[in-house]
Amino acid sequence: MAKLTRYLPILDWGRSYSRSALSNDLIAAVIVTIMLIPQSLAYALLAGLPPEAGIYASIVPILLYAVFGTSRALAVGPVAIVSLMTAAAVGQVAEQGTMGYAAAALTLALLSGAMLLAMGVLRLGFLANFLSHPVIAGFITASGILIATSQVRHILGVEAHGHTLPEILTSLAAHLGQIHLPTAAIGLAALAFLFWARSRLKPTLLRLGLAPGLAGIATKAGPVAAVAGTTALVWALDLGTGGVAIVGDVPQSLPPLTIPDLSPDILQGLLVPALLISVIGFVESISVAQTLAAKNRQRIDPDQELIGLGAANIGAAFSGGYPVTGGFARSVVNFDAGAETPAAGAFTAIGLAIAAVALTPLVYFLPKATLAATIIVAVLGLVDLSILKRTWGYSRADFAAVLATILLTLGAGVEAGVSAGVILSLVLHIYKTARPHVAVLGLVHGTQHFRNVLRHKVETQPGLLMLRIDESLYFANARFLEEMILDHLARDPELRDVVLLCSAVNEIDFSALESLEALNHRLTEQGVGFHLSEVKGPVLDRLGKTHFLDALNGRVFLAHYDAWTALRGTPGTDRAA
């Protein structure tokens, strides 16, 4: 039963579901539903899909997440960055606007869902740790810039394409002569209104006497007002026939049962993008979920979150959607509106289902320029170039990772950017730990303490080299240790004993063990004694399973001071023999 509750968190919160939780969840659901309608349409546009795909992607996934997810406030559905990544990935295997394109988006959701589910069952949530914070920050900022520029064409009513910043800008520049003035007027007006609403609407409403909570929620509804206003305008002036791009016919239907395209070519082409989308989606979702859970001293389980997101994406694949994840904006609205349990998500799904069946005729005249404006305002909030300045001041390695991620995302696309960021983070980490801090030690006079000879006035013995290594020994620094000690050996012909103080060594992996064996062998050949001191219990246990301690030509000292006294003036391996 406990096990079942782990995989089905709904059994946990569902049992104690109260009337007050129900009413709070219902209110939150109404607010989120209204906000999600234009957002879902807009992100479908960004992903290159028909508008209804955005609505469908918000219905079944949100229900499945309510059953399997652990966050009480997370709202799952289409989000900006995953929509952009979907467009980049699916665009490589199918032509936008074709049936194949929509089917490939379903495949991408299925693959991503299967990967997330597998990672959850195998408890591989730690894989998200490969993305360092600077890489994520750089990626989100660059993606925000890419998304915003990609939407400029809808605002201006021109044709323009591209998956990288240079491509998009070149294409926009080439089509600048063909700006459609009525479209541009609507688009720029919507943009101006949304920017104004974001910063000035709330103070204005407060001045007009609205309650602060209500004013906050009304401000979040800015996009709904923009959508309603511009739709009415296009309808009233019949601008649709005048060439303003509108959403047009959206089928009035519940999410259809859809079958993803499982042909080998498509599967193979989408494998790597699906992995990247899974990881990015998971990282985004878990960050949001953790932030919200911590506010109520609640906890979320990352491995179970993987299962929840996996189920949501598989649901999206079979119900006409595309890859989804937990979105920041919608989750915060859900939380602020007072959602108490995942049931709020289920009610939102019902609200959107009603909208899908009954309200789609209302968006027939909705101009695409307005949707583009809502996207631009939303994603510009993601752009934060201050990460460059902050990392520069703190660590050049982190700065290099951010810069590479931003430049590659802008210049070569989302997949190249995030891959390069991950690889560079790892390379820089290996680089740092590959050269650990090593101190040559001497005895502090009158004590039993040993300190770095470069920093302190200490006593040393000729022929006795004492080293302290401030890092676990593993494959990346095994060679360094070997080289460093052999360097000392080559420089000091008088050397007769080497003692390694291991108090900071938390682990010795097999590569490091082999390096120590090789060192012991070479030092023995040269008649130099090789000793260890203050080896931690678990490390010594593991070494005890091998022949290393038998082969060691010197001794293992419990306290480093014992080594100092034992090796005073005695010649290297002669004593050990």
Binding site for a second copy (CB under 8 A): 126-135, 290, 293-295, 297-299, 302, 390-391, 393-395, 397-398, 425-427, 429-437, 470-472, 474-480, 482-483, 486-487, 489-490, 493, 504, 506-507, 509-511, 513-515, 522, 525-526, 542, 545-546
Helices (H), 200-342: 202-207, 212-220, 222-237, 264-295, 302-317, 328-336
* Nearest-approach distance from CB 209 to a second copy, in angstroms: 30
Q: Which is nearer to a second copy, 23 or 386 (CB)?
A: 386
Q: Which is nearer to a second copy, 132 or 164 (CB)?
A: 132
Q: Which is nearer to a second copy, 437 or 449 (CB)?
A: 437
* Nearest-approach distance from CB 444 to a second copy, in angstroms: 17
Chain-centre distance for alpha carbon 173: 33
* Nearest-approach distance from CB 79 to a second copy, in angstroms: 20
Backbone angles phi and psi of 563, in degrees to 5: -65, -45
Q: Which is nearer to a second copy, 184 or 504 (CB)?
A: 504
3-class SS string, 5-35: HHHCCHHHHHHCCCHHHHHHHHHHHHHHHHH
Q: Which amino acid is at 119?
A: M
Maximum separation of any 2 CA atoms in the chain, in Å: 102
* Nearest-approach distance from CB 395 to a second copy, in angstroms: 6
* Nearest-approach distance from CB 288 to a second copy, in angstroms: 13
Residue 99 corresponds to which tokens in the numbers above? 């049936």
Chain-centre distance for alpha carbon 459: 51
* Nearest-approach distance from CB 136 to a second copy, in angstroms: 9
Q: Which amino acid is at 102?
A: A
Angle formed by the axes of helices 133-156 and 181-196, nearest 10°:
140
Q: Which amino acid is at 197?
A: A
Instruction: Say if CB 209 and CB 392 are below 8 A apart.
Output: no
Backbone angles phi and psi of 343, in degrees to 5: -60, -30
Closest C-alpha among 386, 413, 415 to residue 402 = 386
Q: Which is nearer to a second copy, 59 or 428 (CB)?
A: 428
Q: Which is nearer to a second copy, 181 or 430 (CB)?
A: 430
* Nearest-approach distance from CB 125 to a second copy, in angstroms: 9
CA–CA gap between residue 576 and residue 568 (Å, rounded) = 14
Residue 302 corresponds to which tokens in the numbers above? 């990352």
CA–CA gap between residue 511 and residue 569 (Å, rounded) = 33
* Nearest-approach distance from CB 506 to a second copy, in angstroms: 5
3-class SS string, 176-206: HHHCCHHHHHHHHHHHHHHHHHHHHHHHHHH
Q: Which is nearer to a second copy, 127 or 453 (CB)?
A: 127
Closest C-alpha among 265, 229, 2 to residue 221 = 229
Instruction: Say if CB 153 and CB 160 are below 8 A apart.
Output: yes
* Nearest-approach distance from CB 234 to a second copy, in angstroms: 44
Q: Which is nearer to a second copy, 101 or 474 (CB)?
A: 474
What are the CA-CA distances from residue 252 to residues 199, 352, 359 (Å)? 36, 12, 8
For 454, other C-beta atoms within 10 Å of its C-beta total: 9
* Nearest-approach distance from CB 544 to a second copy, in angstroms: 11
* Nearest-approach distance from CB 386 to a second copy, in angstroms: 12
CA–CA gap between residue 205 and residue 221 (Å, rounded) = 13
Q: Tell me if residue 474 falls in helix, strand or coil.
A: coil
Residue 177 corresponds to which tokens in the numbers above? 């002569």
* Bridge partner residues of 508 (DSSP): 473
Q: Which is nearer to a second copy, 380 or 423 (CB)?
A: 423
Q: Which is nearer to a second copy, 252 or 448 (CB)?
A: 448
Q: Which is nearer to a second copy, 205 or 486 (CB)?
A: 486
Q: Which is nearer to a second copy, 123 or 200 (CB)?
A: 123
Instruction: Say if CB 450 and CB 458 are below 8 A apart.
Output: yes
* Nearest-approach distance from CB 295 to a second copy, in angstroms: 7
